[in-house]
Amino acid sequence: MNKKIFRVLFLLLVVFSLVWSVACQSEKKETAAIQKTVIQIGDKEIQTKDEAIYKTREFNGQKREYLSLDFSKIDRPASVSEFQQVFHQPPIRQYRTGTCWCFATTSFLESELKRLGRGQFKLSEMYTVYWEYVEKARRFIKEKGNSFLGEGSEHNAVIARMKQYGAVPESAYTGLLPGKTEHDHSALFAELNNYLEFCKKNQYWDEEKAIAYVKLILNKHLGEPPSVIEVNGQKMTPKEYLEKVLQLPLDDYVCFMSFKYVPFYTKGEYRAPDNWWHSQDYYNVPLDEFYQAIVNALKNGYSVALGGDVSEPGINGEEGLAVIPSFDILPSLIDQDSREFRFYNNTSTDDHAIHAVGITQKGGHTWFLIKDSGAGAHRGPYKGYLFFRDDFVRLKMLTFMVHKDAVADLLKKFEQK
């Protein structure tokens, strides 16, 4: 090799070494600047491993397989009597309807009537449901079919319909035709949906005529709601019954959620299909405050209407329990982000509304007494009640409604924004 070629190779080697040295130093500086966040499970983390197992149940004459766990290992309250309870009417069933939102919120308002000293009342769920169907259809027509149509709704829909149409006692309107003892809205909703889809297909947007026909469908399946009722020998309209007899402070009820898509301590929309009118009246708070508000309310004598996901292996009507199994996530790892992730990927969905009426401690956990109108709870050991463990509430309950006095300190944070 001649000297000229050797000098060139030597110079190239020197240049490469310098470049490599600078790159390494730069990389070291960048690496040193990165602050890593470590997730740590504390020494006190005690979690019995829940094995995922398959079980079968019979539904409409057919056996179905579903994922579950062995609930016998769970240290649970022994009975409903173990809970510190808020007054509530006995559990009743919604049967074959998608109207849990109304059963839960009506039950909540009945508890409020007692707490406020108004007395004990059993109100008609179906009176509210009737008018909710009317208003859903009205919006569908106004929006030319660009509005979600389903049987479900949200807690604050009950407040809105009562403000608009009043309320009546259960005895004045059951929504059951003569000879019927159980609700079944399958035929009703099919006919309603078919008619509104016909309107959409044919661009028929005459609101007055369309709503008149919707009422004919509802009257056929539910019976016509009363325009006048008699209470203690006195005739009055449903709105007069609400204002003069019930005297419910409807503006005093507030709804909360806990999501990162809206800034905390501001109000925003709950992004769920059953929020069909896109209400933005939800107070958004961090998860710890969301959960603690529920606990504090129950401990202080307020009941809470809850909404969230009940389609999980950890909830079982026959057992009467709702927990988060270890094969899903450990309780100490339930936080704002794990909750958000499940809502984002639709493993936590808005599919049921219930009424929290009690609280207790057992096995190192807080347990909630849930009054439930769904079929599963009524098949179980507690006949219309479920026991929700704290981890299930933190991860799977997405919204709640409560009287504003129960969350006065939390609401002050919104005033300061």
| DSSP assignment of 185-240 | -HHHHHHHHHHHHHHHHTT---HHHHHHHHHHHHHHHH-PPPSSEEETTEEE-HHH
Chain centroid to Cα 80, Å, comes to: 23
Q: How confident is the model at residue 29 (pLDDT cuts 50, 70, 90)?
A: very low
Could you say which DSSP state residue 282 is in?
E
Phi-psi bin for 96: left (phi > 0), alpha (psi -120 to 50), beta?
A: beta
Q: Do residues 304 and 108 lie in contact, with contact meaning Cβ atoms separated by under 8 Å?
A: yes
Over residues 323-342, the mean pLDDT reads 94
> What is the model's pLDDT at position 137?
98
Flag the least confident range among 36-45, 71-80, 123-132, 187-196.
36-45
> What is the model's pLDDT at position 188?
98
The sign of the torsion formed by the CA atoms of 289, 87, 324, 307 equals: negative
Q: Do residues 69 and 50 lie in contact, with contact meaning Cβ atoms separated by under 8 Å?
A: yes
Using alpha carbons only, what angle is made at residue 139 by residues 276 and 270, rounded to the nearest 5 degrees? 20
Could you say which DSSP state residue 116 is in?
T
The kind and range of the H/E element at 381 are: none
The kind and range of the H/E element at 390 are: helix 390-396
Q: How far is it, in rounded angstroms, from Cα 401 to Cα 275? A: 14
* CA 363 vs CA 48, 389, 390: distances in Å: 12, 10, 11
Q: How far is it, in rounded angstroms, from Cα 205 to Cα 138? A: 10
> What is the model's pLDDT at position 191?
98
Longest dimension (CA), the chain: 122
pLDDT at 34 over 60: no
Second CATH level (architecture) for the domain 53-415 = Alpha-Beta Complex (3.90)
Nearest C-alpha neighbor of 98 from the set 310, 274, 257, 346:
274
Over residues 278-295, the mean pLDDT reads 98
23 vs 303, higher pLDDT: 303
The full set of domain ranges for the chain reads 53-415
Q: How far is it, in rounded angstroms, from Cα 238 to Cα 304? A: 25
Instruction: Supply 193's token pair.
Output: 């949906």
Instruction: Supply 184's token pair.
Output: 């079944």
| Residue-averaged pLDDT of the chain | 91
Over residues 276-283, the mean pLDDT reads 98
Q: Coil, strand, or helix at residue 266?
A: strand
Per residue in 307-319, pLDDT (tens digit) is 999 999 999 999 9
Q: How far is it, in rounded angstroms, from Cα 307 to Cα 90? A: 19
Q: How confident is the model at residue 230 (pLDDT cuts 50, 70, 90)?
A: very high
pLDDT at 389 over 70: yes
Flag the least confident range among 53-57, 296-300, 383-387, 410-414.
53-57
Q: How far is it, in rounded angstroms, from Cα 323 to Cα 389? A: 5
27 vs 339, higher pLDDT: 339
Q: Do residues 104 and 373 lie in contact, with contact meaning Cβ atoms separated by under 8 Å?
A: yes
Residue 352, strand partner residues:
308
Q: How confident is the model at residue 10 (pLDDT cuts 50, 70, 90)?
A: low
Backbone angles phi, psi at 139, to 5 degrees: -65, -40
Q: At what angle do helices 186-201 and 207-222 cross, to 10 degrees?
A: 160
CA atoms within 13 Å, Cβ hemisphere of 33: 6
pLDDT at 404 over 70: yes
Q: How far is it, in rounded angstroms, from Cα 345 to Cα 330? A: 19
Model pTM score: 0.89
Q: How far is it, in rounded angstroms, from Cα 125 to Cα 108? A: 12
> What is the model's pLDDT at position 14?
46
